[in-house]
Amino acid sequence: MARISKSQLIQLQKTLKTDEKIGKKFGITRQAVHQLRRKYGIPSNLAKNADRNAKILKTFKSGLSGTAVAKKFGLSISQTYRVINESKKTSKKAKKAKKSGKRK
């Protein structure tokens, strides 16, 4: 396995973002980088997505177009709409579960 220190891995994660890109740089697999992150106790960048998704939804609901939201957050338009649509599905499931709980 490549010798990557904890501080190097944290810095690489900030610049390269994904385990796959870090692995390519060092000639190792994405899974090996993942194992290193777990060994060092470094959370994945994916952990930050929930906060980002909430901000995307709030921005979209405030009236900004999907294209403008995508530019603001540095995402593709399709990814932005995927986040928006998935949040709608999640809220519908929550409402449905709430209703079914009241009937019992």
Are the CB atoms for 41 and 47 separated by under 8 Å? Answer: no
Q: Looking at the domain assignment, is residue 13 inside a domain? A: yes
Indicate whether 61 and 81 sit together in one domain. yes
User: What is the SS3 assignment for 98?
Assistant: helix
Assign 1 a pLDDT band (cuts: 50, 70, 90). Answer: low
Q: Tokens representing 30?
A: 């994405």
Burial (Cβ within 10 Å: 0-12, 13-18, ≥19) of residue 35? middle
CA atoms of 90 and 86, how far apart (whole Å): 6
pLDDT digits 0-9 by tens, 44-87: 887 788 889 999 999 999 999 999 999 999 989 999 999 999 88
Are the CB atoms for 36 and 9 separated by under 8 Å? Answer: yes
Indicate whether 53 and 21 sit together in one domain. no
Q: Tokens representing 40?
A: 């060092």
Q: How many domains does the chain have?
A: 2
Indicate whether 39 and 56 sit together in one domain. no
Indicate whether 65 and 87 sit together in one domain. yes
**What is the structure's pLDDT at 102?**
57
